[in-house]
Amino acid sequence: MVRELSLAEIFQLGYYWETKILLTAVKLDIFSALRDQPRTALELAESLQLDDSALRLLLHALVAMRVLRKEGDRFSNTSVGQQYLVRTSPDYVGHLLILHDAEWANWGRLEDAIRTGKSPATQHVFATNPELGAQVLAVLDRIGQASGPHLAKRLKLSGITRMLDVGGGAATNAIAFCREYPELEVTVLDLPATLGLAKEAVRRAGLTERIHLLPGDFLTDSFQGRYEMIFMSDILHYQAPPTNAWLVRKAYDHLESGGRLVVKDRFLDPSRTSPAWTTAFAVHILVNTEHGQCVTSEEVQEWMRQAGFTAVEELEPCAVVQGLKPSKPEGQDHG
Ligand SMILES: C[S@@+](CC[C@H](N)C(=O)[O-])C[C@H]1O[C@@H](n2cnc3c(N)ncnc32)[C@H](O)[C@@H]1O
């Protein structure tokens, strides 16, 4: 039985002040300015060109939120602020929060979007601000490095030598898969601005011989060649369902007979009321992309069946689906 919310929890859900305080502090880069030594509000205001009285209010709230500390009239980072919110830290996650801050205006137009069905966004962040998109991917890449090896094992890719990763981002999955399967080579197709990040990651991983970068737009450019596996991870929610059905068919055409398409995304369950995070993500996608949508895994499986895939199945609930391109019957030469 699902527990009913208390009134206090309803108020908590409607209370976003602390969210915006944190996002603004990251945007103003206050934590980086406190990296080396404690400083007063006036010193910080002067170095960051801010109003010291207004800044002091923000700093006090950040102390109450436990990302800053105050001793006397000097402010310093707590250890969590120092580790994750200082720009030069190897664990910096601020780019993701800066993206959330950049999307604030679109969220402010949620009511309009619900009234009209029209998104305030005309393009997603990777198109409007490729630099921020790449920085966000760098954060997601660090977080994703923990799950990539597990996914590599789950997919059982032994014997596959040629894979295409459509919208492969920072090559997080390509690197994890190549580390697990020594015979695998992966082509990572992504927008040119994103591939700069992938190039650096592939070089650091020592995999330049096995991971090939293909700059392009997966909607308008060719997938170039035939593959034994095509992978699409977290890209379908940016497009409308008919475009995605078409992308699935495009993948079918670029697979060898017997090859497979694996799609990983944030799928809703058939009731569309779960997983909870994905139900909110679906609203995020509504206001921050022009045509994007979260779909159920059953919808993706249906696009696969319509394209001709067989043995279509959900490998991980609400997360991974796979379909096989049938092997050629003896003597037939098309695929
Ligand atoms: C959320 S990221 C996912 C990255 C990667 N697949 C992963 O799972 O870590 C979405 C990726 O799709 C890429 N992308 C979005 N639209 C694209 C398009 N039309 N053509 C090529 N890449 C695109 C973005 O640049 C970004 O790298």
User: Per residue in 42-89, pLDDT tens?
Assistant: 999 999 999 999 999 999 999 999 999 999 999 999 999 999 999 999
- Asked if residue 253 belongs to a domain, the reply is yes
- Asked if residue 108 belongs to a domain, the reply is no
- Asked if residue 146 belongs to a domain, the reply is yes
- Asked if residue 107 belongs to a domain, the reply is no
Q: Which two tokens stand for residue 32?
A: 């980086």
pLDDT, residue 155, reads: 95
Distance from the alpha carbon of residue 229 to the mean position of ligand 1, in angstroms:
18
Distance from the alpha carbon of residue 191 to the mean position of ligand 1, in angstroms:
7
Mean predicted confidence (pLDDT) in 275-289: 96
Peptide bond into 192 cis (omega under 30): no
Nearest to 170 by CA among 184, 185, 190: 190
Residues 219 and 284 in one domain: yes
pLDDT of 138 strictly over 90: no
pLDDT, residue 52, reads: 98
Contacts of 61 (CB under 8 A, 6+ apart): 18, 21
For the CA of 231, the closest atom of ligand 1 is 6
pLDDT, residue 9, reads: 93
Mean predicted confidence (pLDDT) in 115-125: 90
For the CA of 144, the closest atom of ligand 1 is 9
Last residue of a domain, one of 52, 75, 94: 94
Residues 129 and 87 in one domain: no
**Within a 10 A sphere around the Cβ of 286, how many other Cβ atoms?**
20
Residue nearest to atom 1 of ligand 1 (CA): 234
Mean predicted confidence (pLDDT) in 88-106: 93
Mean predicted confidence (pLDDT) in 175-181: 96
Last residue of a domain, one of 75, 94, 113: 94
Compute the distance between CA of residue 299 and CA of residue 301 in angstroms, rounded to an integer: 5
Distance from the alpha carbon of residue 232 to the mean position of ligand 1, in angstroms:
9
pLDDT, residue 125, reads: 81
Contact 135, 102 (CB under 8 A): no
Residue nearest to atom 3 of ligand 1 (CA): 234
Last residue of a domain, one of 73, 94, 115: 94
Residues 242 and 172 in one domain: yes
Residues 130 and 275 in one domain: yes
- Give how far Cα 157 sits from Cα of 75, 163, 201, 274, Å: 52, 10, 22, 30
Residue nearest to atom 10 of ligand 1 (CA): 235
Query: The domain containing residue 247 runs over which residues?
Result: 125-324
pLDDT of 29 strictly over 80: yes
For the CA of 133, the closest atom of ligand 1 is 25
- Block residue for tokens 């305030």: 120
Residues 88 and 140 in one domain: no
Distance from the alpha carbon of residue 211 to the mean position of ligand 1, in angstroms:
16
pLDDT, residue 335, reads: 40
- Asked if residue 294 belongs to a domain, the reply is yes
Residues 79 and 165 in one domain: no
Contact 30, 54 (CB under 8 A): no
- Asked if residue 106 belongs to a domain, the reply is no
Q: Which helix (H) or strand (E) holds 192?
A: helix 192-205
Q: Please say whether the dihedral angle defined by the alpha carbons of residues 289, 295, 297 and 300, taken in this order, is positive or negative.
A: negative
Q: Phi first, then psi: what are they for 287, rounded to 5°?
A: -90, -15
Q: Is the pTM of this model over 0.85?
A: yes
Among 85-99, 134-148, 315-329, whose mean pLDDT is lowest?
A: 134-148
Q: Phi first, then psi: what are they for 315, rounded to 5°?
A: -85, -35
Pocket test for ligand 1, best of 235, 243, 285 (most atoms within 8 A of CB): 235
- Asked if residue 115 belongs to a domain, the reply is no
Residue 61, domain CATH: 1.10.10.10
For the CA of 264, the closest atom of ligand 1 is 8
For the CA of 220, the closest atom of ligand 1 is 19
Distance from the alpha carbon of residue 123 to the mean position of ligand 1, in angstroms:
13
Residues 66 and 198 in one domain: no
Residues 70 and 159 in one domain: no
Residues 76 and 138 in one domain: no
Angle value at C-alpha 221, between 162 and 286, nearest 5 degrees: 100
Report residue 148 CA to chain centroid gap.
13
For the CA of 194, the closest atom of ligand 1 is 25
Residues 226 and 178 in one domain: yes
User: Per residue in 307-334, pLDDT tens?
Assistant: 999 999 999 999 999 999 999 765 554 4
Instruction: Provide the percentage of residues in the chain whose pLDDT is more than 90.
Output: 85
Residue 157, domain CATH: 3.40.50.150
pLDDT of 127 strictly over 90: no
For the CA of 168, the closest atom of ligand 1 is 6
Q: Which residues pair with 313 in a beta bridge?
A: 322
Q: How many domains is the chain built from?
A: 2
pLDDT of 299 strictly over 50: yes
Residues 82 and 132 in one domain: no
- Mean pLDDT of all residues belonging to the chain: 94
- Asked if residue 221 belongs to a domain, the reply is yes
Pocket test for ligand 1, best of 190, 238, 250, 263 (most atoms within 8 A of CB): 190
pLDDT of 141 strictly over 90: no
Please compute, for residue 57, the number of CA atoms within 13 A of its CA located in the half-sphere on the CB side. 8
Ligand 1: residues whose CB is within 6 Å?
126, 133, 137, 140, 144, 167-169, 172-173, 190-191, 194, 217-219, 233-235, 238
Distance from the alpha carbon of residue 187 to the mean position of ligand 1, in angstroms:
14
Residues 82 and 181 in one domain: no
Pocket test for ligand 1, best of 186, 191, 262, 281 (most atoms within 8 A of CB): 191
